[in-house]
Amino acid sequence: MIPFQFAYFLDPRSTHLFLLLRTSLSIPFQIQPFCHHRSHCFLPFHDPSSPCFLQMAFFRSVSSLSRIRSRLGQQPNLATSVRWLQGQSSSNTDLFSELKELVPQYQERVKKLKKEHGNVELGKITVDMVLGGMRGMTALLWLGSAVDPDEGIRFRGMSIPECQKKLPGAFPGGEPLPEAVLWLLLTGKIPSKEQVDSLAQELRSRATIPDYAYKAIDALPVSTHPMTQFTTGVMALQVQSEFQKAYEGGIGKARYWEPTYEDSMNLIARLPAIAAYIYRRKYKDGKIIPLDDSLDYGANYAHMLGFDDPEMLEFMRLYVSIHSDHEGGNVSSHTAHLVASPLSDPYLAFAAALNGLAGPLHGLANQEVLRWIRSIVAEFGTPNISTEQLSDFIYKTLNSGQVVPGYGHGVLRQTDPRYTCQREFALKHLPNDPLFQLVSKIKEVVPPILTKLGKVKNPWPNVDAHSGVLLNYYGLTEENYYTVLFGVSRSIGVAPQLIWDRALGMPLERPKSITLEKLEQLCGKSS
């Protein structure tokens, strides 16, 4: 299909629909005659160059006037219509086809940047950065998302509330579907419900687990931490890597991204079943609950774990969506990108990412939060405690040399919007839950105490401060499992970047290090 963008103009008085087309971003939209009815189309619409083909594509992408109206309000005007449809610029319901059209455009942009602006400076590197975990050092290209210190995450420029408003949910007004987030992160475009449904179907069709992956997990003692079991399962899935096969078969560089896409989609599709098996094996009867063909990705994961309460299904959609991506520098995402850079396939890269996520200062913090909250309840015999009691407990934690889990961040300097949207979910569905109320109280008491320490750069809660009480409320009480949920979600952010890494020909990552002697010598010279 030739690349093109459409927009439409719905005349509110006559209710006539005009189709506008353009084949390049640099030319204005052209008004085309639009066939309202398929029977009015006399031109062959199988010919990609015929206007009728484009009209039919348009017809498929915006399935009904009522849908357009419900998206844009009763009286949409040209500007809002064009803006909306710019994000809807293709009728591809197949993600691979969509990506194939985008790859040359992105390759061109990167080539141009390198050629014309390769020497532009992005900042300076200080001793603090080298000794301080590279905070604030811009050194990675990451397409899917960016974290603003005050506003938090934006997925392809969209904040969480914007995603909640604009991305398709399982029902009108529902939380964004993880499939929609995946489509957005990979393509930069807001998918239609049809595109999301098609992707959900694609993921379900890829979700077959080879028996040896279960056996590899079974080889570990049941007592093994769920994250170790999870990494083992992912490594077992690697046996089927399409990238590895293609590389051994001599595939050329220009096509690396294609088997990377296959591996990434297979990986994303298969993770929930592997993850659910670990849960059922460790905490339940060990019986596998099969995938339900009528459910979307997030809901299916909950279902395979053994939870079918519609509210829990909806929470899982939100959970997976908001945990998917957090720009490129966080430990798990950066690890995946680094490990993939010598052309290790997505399974190898993602298993490494999970090992980083399993650290208590990163993803494991959600486990630590619920454990810490439970220890508060155990200490006082009730979650209903006074501010003074809570304050004493926080000081006890700090004085024993531990961090307050769920608070602080490497980039954020305000409350994490992922915390806020989980709080809003809880306020709607479980306002009277005693642990939720304790979490709310902790948010009042912890920040002033951390601020008083004088060294904590961000005293506010992060995503992990909230997720546990919601999961616990819906019956997923085994906190040691929580990071597995995070891991499944993170695949949706990491995998798109791995595909783009290969499509854009990103090189092997190899920064320069410095010895202590050399650092001292350089500092001596500059002072």
Ligand X SMILES: O=C([O-])CC(=O)C(=O)O
Ligand Y SMILES: CC(=O)SCCNC(=O)CCNC(=O)[C@H](O)C(C)(C)COP(=O)(O)OP(=O)(O)OC[C@H]1O[C@@H](n2cnc3c(N)ncnc32)[C@H](O)[C@@H]1OP(=O)(O)O
Please report how the helices 346-357 and 226-237 are oriented relative to each other, as an axis angle in degrees rounded to 10: 170
Q: Which stretch binds ligand Y (CB under 6 A): 31-39, 78-86, 455-463, 490-498?
A: 455-463
- Candidates 125, 361, 519, 523: give the one binding ligand Y (CB under 6 A): 361
- Candidates 168, 406, 447, 468: give the one binding ligand Y (CB under 6 A): 406
Minimum CB distance to ligand Y smaller for 110 or for 403? 403
Residue (of 489, 478, 168, 453) closest to 354 by Cα position: 489
**Closest CB to ligand Y belongs to which residue?**
408
Binding positions for ligand X, 442-501, rule CB under 6 A: 462-463
Q: Does 362 bind ligand Y (CB under 6 A)?
A: yes
- The DSSP bridge partners found for residue 17 are 10
Q: Does 154 bind ligand X (CB under 6 A)?
A: no
Q: Does 463 bind ligand Y (CB under 6 A)?
A: yes
Minimum CB distance to ligand Y smaller for 217 or for 456? 456
**Annotation marks residue 409 as catalytic:** yes
Minimum CB distance to ligand X smaller for 349 or for 411? 411
- Candidates 192, 300, 330, 497: give the one binding ligand X (CB under 6 A): 330
**Annotation marks residue 334 as catalytic:** no
Find the catalytic residue in 326, 334, 409, 466.
Answer: 409
The enclosing H or E element of 19 equals strand 17-22
Find the catalytic residue in 263, 325, 464, 501.
Answer: 464
**Phi-psi category of 425—alpha, beta or left, where left has phi over 0 and alpha has psi -120 to 50?**
alpha
Quickly list DSSP for 250-305.
T--GGGTHHHHHHHHHHHHHHHHHHHHHHHHHHHS--PPPPPPTTS-HHHHHHHHH
- The DSSP bridge partners found for residue 5 are 22
Q: Does 410 bind ligand X (CB under 6 A)?
A: yes
Q: To the nearest whole angstrom, how small is the minimum distance from the Cβ of residue 195 to ligand Y? A: 29
Identity of the residue numbered 121: E
- Candidates 456, 476, 485, 494: give the one binding ligand Y (CB under 6 A): 456
Q: Does 411 bind ligand X (CB under 6 A)?
A: yes
Q: Which stretch binds ligand Y (CB under 6 A): 11-19, 259-267, 405-413, 495-503?
A: 405-413
- Candidates 176, 328, 405, 447: give the one binding ligand Y (CB under 6 A): 405
Minimum CB distance to ligand X smaller for 135 or for 215? 135
- Candidates 409, 443, 490, 502: give the one binding ligand Y (CB under 6 A): 409
Residue (of 200, 191, 145) closest to 168 by Cα position: 191
Find the catalytic residue in 225, 362, 416, 501.
Answer: 362
> How many residues form the binding site for ligand Y (CB under 6 A)?
22
Encoded one letter per residue, x for contact with ligand Y by CB under 6 A and - for no contact, window 126-165 reads: ---------x------------------------------
Helices (H), 284-380: 297-305, 310-323, 331-340, 346-357, 365-380
Residue (of 171, 150, 175, 172) closest to 160 by Cα position: 175
Q: Does 353 bind ligand Y (CB under 6 A)?
A: no
Q: Does 457 bind ligand Y (CB under 6 A)?
A: yes
Quickly list DSSP for 381-420.
SSS---HHHHHHHHHHHHHTT---TTB--SS--S--HHHH
Q: To the nearest whole angstrom, how small is the minimum distance from the Cβ of residue 165 to ligand Y? A: 24
Burial class for 181, CB neighbours closer than 10 Å (0-12, 13-18, 19+) = buried
Residue found under tokens 């659910």: 276
How many Å is the maximal CA-CA distance in the chain? 81
Q: Does 356 bind ligand X (CB under 6 A)?
A: no
- Candidates 179, 464, 479, 501: give the one binding ligand Y (CB under 6 A): 464
- Candidates 404, 426, 471, 503: give the one binding ligand Y (CB under 6 A): 404
**Annotation marks residue 464 as catalytic:** yes
Q: Does 410 bind ligand Y (CB under 6 A)?
A: yes
Contact 167, 191 (CB under 8 A): yes
Q: How far is CA 456 from CA 131, 214, 413, 448, 452, in A?
A: 17, 43, 10, 11, 9
Q: How many residues belong to the chain?
A: 527
d(CA 437, CA 210): 43
d(CA 243, CA 237): 13
Contact 86, 5 (CB under 8 A): yes
What does 355 bind: ligand Y, ligand X, none (CB cut-off 5 to 8 Å by kind)?
none
Question: Using CB under 6 A as the criterion, which residues of the chain lie in contact with ligand Y when the complex forms?
Answer: 135, 361-363, 365, 398, 403-410, 450, 455-458, 462-464
Catalytic residues: 362, 409, 464
Residues forming the site for ligand X (CB under 6 A) = 326, 330, 410-411, 462-463
